Amino acid sequence: MNRAAGVFATPLGRISATIVATYVLAAALAPVLAPYGPEAGDLAQRLAPPSAQHWFGTDSLGRDILTRTLYGARVSLLVGILTVAITAAFGTVVGAVGGFYRGAFDAVVGRVTELLLAFPYLIFAIGMMAFLGPGFANLVAALSLKGWVEFYRLARGETLDQGQREYVEASRALGQKRPRTLFREVLPNVLPAISVLSTLRIGYFMVLEASLSFLGVGIPPNIPAWGSMISEGRGVLFIAWWVSTIPGIALLVLVLAINLLGESLQEVYAPRNKRRGFARPAVGKVR
């Protein structure tokens, strides 16, 4: 029954799935795999270029970049997956209920989302983080507070569309309770689109987290995160290219693999949507 497995039918799908799986494993096993401690700095080895000892070189405190990049994967993956789990669950339920029942609830939520959309995401997140203070949970909260809107809009649109179908009318004619129709009949048909958006949004949230950490309002500096590592490397860009470059490549490859996975998933579920640029709002840039 699991159509999602169709992702593995294409070489591109298999490659991207393998890359993502490798990252997840590397993040989980970071303490075992990493050659050094994430905070262990050797001041004699400051800004050492890539070598046999330090494959990816060291930063300005003499910390091993490979080690910190491995640990950084934990932050990125956790932020991406947790934020998507929260926003997808909340946005989908609110959107499906709004699109199914319409009425006052739908109208009110619609206005709220318009307000949230008029706020640029990055300003919203920077402001929230300035309010909450840097930290992992705060970051997920700040991202979630606005991130659910995309899921809401997709779920509402799909539910509106499904609501017109004959099977909904049929279940009503059969005397089925409305909530049961929504959750047992309509929602399963909305989920494929949601799962595509979820995949694409993981990459988006990871870039957003890195941007905030880059600005110094994301993950606190004592936890290795790719965004703050890139930011640290900015000061020494002219003498040590590897400090910023390596974590950036790690981020790019992971986001690319996730986006590829999302596109493969989309092709499996809804090839017709491809022509309509269905993925556009999901993959975007961070401002």
Partner 1 sequence: MRLTKLLERVLSAIPVALGVAVLAFMFLRFLPGDPVEIMLGDTQVSQQQLDSLRSQLHLDKPLLAQLGIFLSGLIRGDLGVSIVKNAPVAKLIGDTLPATIELTIATVLVGILIAMPVGIISAVRAGSWLDRTALSGALVGISMPAFWFGLLMILLFAVELRVLPTSGRIAATMVVDKTTGFMLVDTLLAGNLKAFGGALKHLILPALTLGVVFAAVLARVVRTSMLEVLGKDYVTTARAKGLREWGVILKHALRNALIPALTVTGLQFGELLGGNMIVETVFAWPGLGRLVVSSIFARDYVVVQAAVMLYALTYVGANLVVDALYTLLNPRISL
Task: Tell me which residues touch partner 1 (CB under 8 A).
Answer: 111, 114-115, 117-120, 122-123, 126-128, 130-131, 133, 203, 207, 210-211, 214-215, 230, 233-234, 237-238, 241, 244-245, 248, 251-252, 255-256, 259-260, 263, 274-277, 280, 283-287
Q: How far apart are CA 195 and CA 123, in angstroms?
A: 27
> Is 191 or 270 the residue whose CB approaches partner 1 more closely?
270
Q: How far is the CB of 229 from partner 1 (least distance, A)?
A: 10
- Report DSSP letters for 46-112, one per residue: TTPPS-SSSTT-B-TT-BBHHHHHHHHHHHHHHHHHHHHHHHHHHHHHHHHHHHHH-HHHHHHHHHH
> Is 50 or 248 the residue whose CB approaches partner 1 more closely?
248
Q: How far is the CB of 208 from partner 1 (least distance, A)?
A: 9
> Is 78 or 253 the residue whose CB approaches partner 1 more closely?
253
Q: How far apart are CA 178 and CA 259, in angstroms?
A: 36
> Is 21 or 117 the residue whose CB approaches partner 1 more closely?
117
**Closest of 201, 259, 226, 250 to residue 15, by C-alpha:** 259
> Is 15 or 191 the residue whose CB approaches partner 1 more closely?
15
Which amino acid makes up residue 45?
Q
Task: Determine the 3-state secondary structure of 63 from DSSP.
Answer: strand
Torsion of CA 164, 86, 146, 184, to 10 degrees: 10
Q: How far is the CB of 285 from partner 1 (least distance, A)?
A: 5
Q: How far is the CB of 187 from partner 1 (least distance, A)?
A: 28
Task: Determine the 3-state secondary structure of 58 from DSSP.
Answer: strand
> Which helix (H) or strand (E) segment is 241 a member of?
none
Q: How far is the CB of 279 from partner 1 (least distance, A)?
A: 8
